[in-house]
Amino acid sequence: MNQTGYDIAIVGAGPAGMTAALYALRAGKTVLLLEGQAYGGQIIQSPKVENYPGAPEIGGVELAEQMMGQIRALGVEMIAESVQRIHPEDNRFRMETFAHVYTASAVILATGVGHRKLGVPGEEALIGRGVSFCATCDGMFFRRREVAVVGGGNTAVQDALVLAEICSKVYLIHRRDSFRAEAHLMERVRSSEKIEIIPDTVVTAIRGEMRLESLTLRNTKSGEECELAVAGLFEAVGTLPQNAAFADAVALDAEGYIPTDADCMTATPGIFAAGDCRQKAVRQLTTATADGTVAALAAVEWLNRAR
Ligand code: NAP
């Protein structure tokens, strides 16, 4: 750390944060990258990334490692701490973690999103005991067992395909009969002998003593209820922003996302937001890295103008 702290602090080491670091470092700025969990964000839960231009098929972990290798080589300071609070002080920003206080002249928030939960009885007690949010991480625990995935987006469908390679049977439970997942993924699901789609159905309870034993399902059209015995439940029902800790520092919209201008600047001069944490329509890997680029270059320009 130099005498006055860092030029730019980036909160979150997913693709948006790592790309922002790349551009800020290449612009000659000192960069602190703070991440409380594993670096890589959501892509590390993806066994195969197939929509990143120039890399038709790459493992999510491998892509994250390559991004990190690239910024480490440029001298990024990576600290494995989670930022609890940000506040301005003497033309700088103070970032408090549980252990330390760091300062920077500009901040880029790239906090991504967290998992939405179903919020049904039994869920909390059985998380980690059969209920999971990551098929790539936990799928092997259910080898040759019957499992269910709930959700109708790309994550749910990719999870079902991953689990079909490992498990004896995969039920894909969705509250409607049409899926928002990409058509080519749905084709693979429909041609899998191991995946059974259960449409128009919601999970109303998750049951089990020490471990998950069964799900209570309700058909949304007929209202009929039934019990489905499974060893694992993979929840993939979307994402939620995790910006509440920064509500004093930046404005949030009604859903908790961070509004920005076209340069990724928030309503607080000097604080930028990039990636899924930002208010926007399309949340993809490519839009996350694009945001990281825009936010970093805007932060660099903002710093250069301020001096
Ligand atoms: P998503 O696209 O928001 O899909 C969430 C799914 O969960 C929807 O099908 C939704 O149903 C369902 N759902 C929401 N709340 C529910 C509830 N309480 N009970 C039951 N079902 C519920 O989320 P995602 O699949 O995690 O994807 C998030 C973003 O990342 C998307 O932009 C996605 O395209 C992107 N992504 C892309 C890839 C890729 O390879 N291209 C991979 C993963 C994620 P409805 O459809 O009825 O709303």
Q: Known catalytic residue: 134?
A: yes
Using the predicted structure, report yes or no on whether residue 200 has a pLDDT greater than 50. Answer: yes
- Which residues, 6 or more positions from 74, have their beta carbon under 8 angstroms from its beta carbon? 21, 22, 25, 26
Q: Is ligand 1 within 6 A of the CB of residue 15?
A: no
Please report the beta strands in the chain, taking only residues with DSSP state E, as ranges in sequence order. Answer: 6-11, 31-34, 77-79, 83-89, 92-97, 101-109, 113-115, 131-132, 146-150, 169-173, 195-198, 201-207, 214-219, 225-229, 232-235, 239-241, 271-273
Mean pLDDT, residues 248-261 taken together: 97
Q: Is ligand 1 within 6 A of the CB of residue 47?
A: no
Residue of 44, 120, 175 to mutate, ligand 1, most atoms within 8 A of C-beta: 175
Report how far Cα 283 is from the mean position of its chain's Cα atoms. Answer: 10
Residue of 117, 180, 257 to mutate, ligand 1, most atoms within 8 A of C-beta: 180
Of the listed ranges 16-20, 46-50, 255-259, the least confidently predicted one is 46-50
Q: Return the ligand 1 atom nearest residue 156 CA.
A: 25
Pair 298, 21: CB distance under 8 Å: no
Report how far Cα 124 is from the mean position of its chain's Cα atoms. Answer: 20
Using the predicted structure, report yes or no on whether residue 90 has a pLDDT greater than 50. Answer: yes
CA distances (Å), origin 141, targets 137, 150, 171? 9, 18, 17
- CA dist 141 and 144 (Å) reads 9
- CA dist 43 and 234 (Å) reads 17
pLDDT value at residue 4: 52
pLDDT value at residue 2: 41
**Which of 7, 134, 159, 277 is the catalytic position?**
134
Mean pLDDT, residues 182-209 taken together: 97
CA distances (Å), origin 12, targets 64, 105, 272? 13, 17, 12
The amino acid that residue 6 corresponds to is Y
User: Tokens representing 106?
Assistant: 């500009």
pLDDT value at residue 3: 41
Mean pLDDT, residues 95-101 taken together: 95
Using the predicted structure, report yes or no on whether residue 75 has a pLDDT greater than 50. Answer: yes
pLDDT value at residue 137: 87
Q: Is ligand 1 within 6 A of the CB of residue 236?
A: yes
Q: Is ligand 1 within 6 A of the CB of residue 158?
A: yes
Residue of 42, 155, 178 to mutate, ligand 1, most atoms within 8 A of C-beta: 155
User: Tokens representing 165?
Assistant: 């390679």
Q: How far is the CA of 3 from the centre of ligand 1 (A)?
A: 45
**Which of 7, 90, 138, 226 is the catalytic position?**
138
Give the CA-trace dihedral at 20, 22, 26, 31, to 10 degrees: 70
User: Tokens representing 171?
Assistant: 């039920």
CA atoms within 13 A on the CB side of 15: 24
Q: Known catalytic residue: 264?
A: no
Q: Whose CA is nearest to atom 26 of ligand 1?
A: 238
Q: Is 44 helix (H, G, I), strand (E, B) or coil?
A: helix
Summarize pLDDT for 109-125 with one digit per residue, the tens: 999 999 999 999 999 99
Domains in the chain: ranges and CATH: 3-114+239-306 (3.50.50.60), 117-235 (3.50.50.60)
Q: Is ligand 1 within 6 A of the CB of residue 218?
A: no
Using the predicted structure, report yes or no on whether residue 281 has a pLDDT greater than 60. Answer: yes
Q: How far is the CA of 100 from the centre of ligand 1 (A)?
A: 36
In this structure, the strands spanning 201-207 and 92-97 are unpaired
pLDDT value at residue 46: 85
In this structure, the strands spanning 101-109 and 6-11 are parallel
- Which residues, 6 or more positions from 283, have their beta carbon under 8 angstroms from its beta carbon? 113, 239, 275, 276
Give pTM, 2 decimals. 0.88
Q: Is ligand 1 within 6 A of the CB of residue 153?
A: yes
Give the CA-trace dihedral at 136, 142, 147, 150, to 10 degrees: -30
Q: How far is the CA of 237 from the centre of ligand 1 (A)?
A: 5
Q: Is 71 helix (H, G, I), strand (E, B) or coil?
A: helix
Q: Return the ligand 1 atom nearest residue 113 CA.
A: 28
